[in-house]
Structure 1
Amino acid sequence: MTARRPCPPAPGPLEEYAARFDDLFFGLAQRRGFREYLTGLLAPRERNKTITCLTGAEPVAGAGMPGVQRLQFFLSESPWEAEQINDRRLELLREQSATAPHDGGVIVIDDSGGRKDGTATANVGRQWLGRLGKTDNGIVTVTTVWTDGRVYYPLHATPYTPAHHFARARSDPAFRTTPQLAAALAVRGKSAGFGCRAVVADCAYSVSDDWYLALRAAGLAYVVALKPHRGTWAPAGQPHTPIDAAHTLTWKNADHPGDWTPVERHFRDGHTETWWAADARLGGYGPDSPCRLVVATTDPATLPEKATWHLATNLPHPNAACTATSPHPPADLAEIVRLYGLRPWIEQSYKQVKNELGWADFQVRSDRAIRRHQTLVNCASSFCWDQWSAPPGPVDATAPDPCPNEAPERGVGPVPAAPTALLAQGLTGDPFLACPRRHSQPMVPSLDGQGPTLRTPGPDRRSHHRTRHRPLPPD
């Protein structure tokens, strides 16, 4: 058997990570493309991480450069399987003791939208884009994240295809709603070995019967938010909405809480807050029913809108008669609040894959290329976790520059000389995911905090203003 030709190494610790995927690629060009793509995603850039940006080429004018065309072919045409790459990524996460899943974590599901012009791109259409807070032309992808509040990383992703792409619209057998896609991804995460205490979702998924049925059929517990004013059947004189059910709970003050139980919430930065939780009754919901309605709030007297949760769950009450026949262990109020309190970690994950790693910055049209780009972004995110959990290593000052200076990245202005390596060689002094070019700002936010993602400043940015390059005066 012919020996494989050696591949130009990726800079620093990225080479060791990328080498674990080499057996999934058929040739040298694919292995090289994988390394170049990840390097471009992880390296600091001043513009959206399109393919020209990943190769350090000038926008538009540099689109025909050999490096750009090579990376374009790798993403769109080269014969490799994104699902195999993602399966290997998840396998590596399971093998690391610091990132290995356990039954105390949760699988969080949500959908992420990005704006895209035109109608020729796969899965594009006018739909609600949560990132913009409005309906616009774009692509929505359903995603899952596993988290236990200590680590959080993406599992699977699948783009939602709007109904107008199908011959029979919503009646087409191949059409799937976002809740149906989300339930399938949650089941897939469990099958991949990522056990969880429950599947957690916001109120967008609480209105789909298919979502509930799919999770129950797979033996998955859930904790999902309900819309507070969404009505349900109930006898006359009884509550008809979750907010009505919450108002029927008795409360006087903290010394006489009535139906409410104090719950301590512990946050990543070390501080704690006292919330109040209670089981409420609404239609078929109740503490003695297979489905419970749990209300959690900071103030039972006023039930503030932005600090009150109305949660539906099939985790049984510890004292309920159905506990003996339920497939899930019982959960008290503190456990229910803890589980739903992990849901915002998917938003933190979005900050990194969107703002720093270029989740929506692809410039391809086919469904296969879009899925490949998203898989590679998730690989870049998982590499950061791999480095976070690895012990510090020596600095390799001889690492080659993975982005040769074939052309300036922006315009014809002077470009400072590139350092010998674009990626951090081992862990930095602060607990950040990575610190390319040793800038004072991290490329992606700290794992130990929940601060907003910050853009890494470039050499020509000062105080959020770009220095304009002016022509020199004539001699």
Structure 2
Amino acid sequence: MTARRSCPPAPGPLEEYAGRFDSLFVSLAQRRGFREYLTGLLAPRDRNKTITCLAGAEPVVGARTAAAQRLQYFLSESVWDSEQVNDRRLELLRGQTATAPHDGGVIVIDDSGDRKDGTATAHVGRQWLGRYGKTDNGIVTVTTVWTDGRVYYPLHAQPYTPAHHFARGRSDPAFRTKPQLAAALAARAKETGFGCRAVVADCAYSVSDDWYFTLRDAGLAYVVALKPRSTTWAPADQPHTPIDAASTLAWRDADRPGEWTPVERHFRDGHRETWWAADARLGGYGPDSPYRLVVATTDPGTLPEKATWYLATNLPHPDAPHTATSPHVPAGLAEIVRLYGLRPWIEQSYKQIKDELGWADFQVRSDTAIRRHQTLVNCAFTFCWSQWFAPPGALDATAPDPCPDNRPERGHRHTPPVPNALLAQGITSRPLLAHPGHHPAQLVASMDRPGPTARTPSPPRRGHRRQTP
């Protein structure tokens, strides 16, 4: 058998990480493309991370350079399986003690849209884009994130294909709604070894019966938000909406809380807040039912719109009669609130993969190329976590420059001012070009900086950016 040709190494510690994927690529060109793509994603730049940017080439005219053409071919035409690459990435996460999943975490599901024009690009359609809070032409991707409040990382992603792409529209057998895609991704995450306490989602998913059925068949618990005024069948003299059910719970003040229980929430910045939670009765929901309605709020007296959650869950009440036969471990009010409080970490993940790593900066049309770009962005994200927990090592000053002098880049010819403590070896004199592997700690720190603040989160609404606990 012919020995494999050696591949030009990626900068610094990125080479060791990239080497773990080499068995999935059959040619030297593919292994080189993988390294160059990740290097470009991780390098700080002053413009969108399109192919020319990743190659360190000038926009538009630089697309003809060999480096840009090589990356374009790797992304769109080369034969490799993005699903296998993602599976290897998840295998590395499971194998590292600091990032290994456990049953105390959650799988958060959500969808996020980005503007894309034209009619020839896969998955493009006029649809709701939560990132912008309006309906527009774009691509929406359903994603899953695993988190325990300490670490968080994407698991799987599935672009949503609007109905007009199918011959029979929504009645086409191949069409899948966003809740259907999301539930399938959550079930897939469990199959690949990412255990969790519950699947968490906002109110957009609580209206889909298919979502509940798929999670039930997969043996997954859930904590999902309900719309405050969504109606359900009940006798005329009983509550018909979650907010009506919460209003019937007895409350006078903090010293005489009635049916409410104080719950202390801990936030990432160190501060704490006292919330109040209670099991409410609404239709088939109740503490002694297989399905519970848990209300959590900062003020049971007024139920403020932006600080009240109405949560449906199939985690049994500790004192429910069916607890012994339930497939899920019972959960008290404090745990239900904690689990849903982890949901905003998916928003933090979106912020980083989009603002820092160029999730939506691709300029390709095919479904295959779009999925590959998303997988490579997630690989770059995972590399950052591996370096965050890795012990500090010596800087590699001998690594090849991914952006040599003959690759022009548009921008100001100065390095942005930074504190001296963050200066690292390998920063070049050219505009915003650097060896990403020379200072991984600084790269990860810059991605981790857009952290949550102390503000109380708002209720689950599309397009509303909440602060993260």
TM-score of the superposition, structure 1-length normalised? Answer: 0.90
> Is the Cα contact below 8 Å between 1:86 and 1:375 reproduced in 2?
yes
Show the counterpart of 1:385: 385
| Cα deviation code 1:416-472 (max 9, x no counterpart) | 7349951243664xxx5536xxxxxx2x1249x4369xxxxxxxxxxxxxxxxxxxx
In structure 2, how many angstroms separate the alpha carbons of the residues matched to 1:403 and 1:28? 20
Show the counterpart of 1:445: 448
In structure 1, how many angstroms separate the alpha carbons of the residues matched to 2:154 and 2:101? 12
Question: Matched residue of 2:438: which SS?
Answer: coil
Question: Matched residue of 1:434: which SS?
Answer: helix
Q: Which amino acid aligns with 1:450?
A: P
Offset, 1:171: 0.3
In structure 1, how many angstroms separate the alpha carbons of the residues matched to 2:296 and 2:434? 49
Show the counterpart of 1:101: 101
> Is the Cα contact below 8 Å between 2:42 and 2:443 reproduced in 1?
no
Offset, 1:266: 1.0
Q: Report the count of equivalent residues.
A: 441
In structure 2, how many angstroms separate the alpha carbons of the residues matched to 1:412 and 1:239? 62
Offset, 1:312: 0.0
Show the counterpart of 2:61: 61
Q: Which amino acid aligns with 1:357?
A: L
Show the counterpart of 1:422: 435
The residue correspondences of 1:115-264 to structure 2 (distance < 5 A) are 115-264=115-264
Question: Matched residue of 2:157: which SS?
Answer: strand
Q: Which amino acid aligns with 1:445?
A: D
| Gap regions ≥5 residues in structure 2 | 416-427, 455-469
In structure 1, how many angstroms separate the alpha carbons of the residues matched to 2:206 and 2:411? 50
Offset, 1:270: 1.6
> Is the Cα contact below 8 Å between 1:423 and 1:434 reproduced in 2?
no
In structure 2, how many angstroms separate the alpha carbons of the residues matched to 1:15 and 1:245? 57
Offset, 1:324: 1.4
> Is the Cα contact below 8 Å between 1:11 and 1:421 reproduced in 2?
no
Question: Matched residue of 1:62: which SS?
Answer: helix
The residue correspondences of 1:226-375 to structure 2 (distance < 5 A) are 226-375=226-375
> Is the Cα contact below 8 Å between 2:46 and 2:411 reproduced in 1?
no
In structure 2, how many angstroms separate the alpha carbons of the residues matched to 1:245 and 1:383? 46
Offset, 1:412: 10
Offset, 1:406: 2.6
Show the counterpart of 1:469: none
TM-score of the superposition, structure 2-length normalised? Answer: 0.91
> Is the Cα contact below 8 Å between 1:124 and 1:137 reproduced in 2?
yes
Q: Which amino acid aligns with 1:395?
A: L
> Is the Cα contact below 8 Å between 1:143 and 1:182 reproduced in 2?
yes
Question: Matched residue of 1:294: which SS?
Answer: strand
Question: Matched residue of 2:199: which SS?
Answer: strand
Percent identity, aligned pairs only, is 79
In structure 2, how many angstroms separate the alpha carbons of the residues matched to 1:295 and 1:425? 49
Show the counterpart of 2:419: none
Question: Matched residue of 1:264: which SS?
Answer: strand
The residue correspondences of 1:30-41 to structure 2 (distance < 5 A) are 30-41=30-41
Offset, 1:306: 0.6
Offset, 1:5: 0.7
Q: Which amino acid aligns with 2:436?
A: L
In structure 1, how many angstroms separate the alpha carbons of the residues matched to 2:414 and 2:314? 62
In structure 2, how many angstroms separate the alpha carbons of the residues matched to 1:289 and 1:93? 37
> Is the Cα contact below 8 Å between 2:414 and 2:429 reproduced in 1?
no
1:413–1:311: structure 2 CA closer, same or farther, 3 Å change rule? closer
Offset, 1:73: 0.2
In structure 2, how many angstroms separate the alpha carbons of the residues matched to 1:420 and 1:124? 33
Show the counterpart of 2:17: 17
Question: Matched residue of 2:277: which SS?
Answer: strand
Question: Matched residue of 2:436: which SS?
Answer: coil
Offset, 1:350: 0.4
In structure 1, how many angstroms separate the alpha carbons of the residues matched to 2:60 and 2:251? 64
Offset, 1:396: 1.6
In structure 2, how many angstroms separate the alpha carbons of the residues matched to 1:426 and 1:394? 10
In structure 1, how many angstroms separate the alpha carbons of the residues matched to 2:12 and 2:326? 50
| Cα deviation code 1:169-212 (max 9, x no counterpart) | 00000000000000000000000000000000000000000000
Question: Matched residue of 1:44: which SS?
Answer: coil
1:86–1:135: structure 2 CA closer, same or farther, 3 Å change rule? same
Q: Which amino acid aligns with 2:448?
A: P
Q: Which amino acid aligns with 2:444?
A: A
Offset, 1:405: 2.7
Offset, 1:13: 0.7
Show the counterpart of 2:75: 75
> Is the Cα contact below 8 Å between 1:56 and 1:405 reproduced in 2?
no
Show the counterpart of 1:434: 444
> Is the Cα contact below 8 Å between 1:142 and 1:181 reproduced in 2?
yes
1:10–1:451: structure 2 CA closer, same or farther, 3 Å change rule? farther
Offset, 1:400: 1.6
In structure 2, how many angstroms separate the alpha carbons of the residues matched to 1:109 and 1:10? 33
Offset, 1:403: 2.0
| Structure 1 segments of 4+ aligned residues over 4 angstroms from their partners | 411-416, 418-421
In structure 2, how many angstroms separate the alpha carbons of the residues matched to 1:16 and 1:421? 19
Q: Which amino acid aligns with 1:213?
A: F
Q: Which amino acid aligns with 1:369?
A: A
In structure 1, how many angstroms separate the alpha carbons of the residues matched to 2:413 and 2:68? 21
Q: Which amino acid aligns with 2:327?
A: P
In structure 2, how many angstroms separate the alpha carbons of the residues matched to 1:434 and 1:303? 39
Question: Matched residue of 2:223: which SS?
Answer: strand
> Is the Cα contact below 8 Å between 2:269 and 2:453 reproduced in 1?
no
Q: Which amino acid aligns with 2:241?
A: T
Question: Matched residue of 2:57: which SS?
Answer: coil
Question: Matched residue of 1:321: which SS?
Answer: coil
Question: Matched residue of 2:204: which SS?
Answer: helix
Question: Matched residue of 2:322: which SS?
Answer: helix
Q: Which amino acid aligns with 1:422?
A: H
In structure 2, how many angstroms separate the alpha carbons of the residues matched to 1:9 and 1:450? 36
In structure 2, how many angstroms separate the alpha carbons of the residues matched to 1:348 and 1:414? 30
> Is the Cα contact below 8 Å between 1:392 and 1:426 reproduced in 2?
no
| Cα deviation code 1:32-88 (max 9, x no counterpart) | 000000000000111110000101111111111111100000000000000000000
In structure 1, how many angstroms separate the alpha carbons of the residues matched to 2:239 and 2:314? 20
> Is the Cα contact below 8 Å between 1:125 and 1:137 reproduced in 2?
yes
> Is the Cα contact below 8 Å between 2:45 and 2:433 reproduced in 1?
no
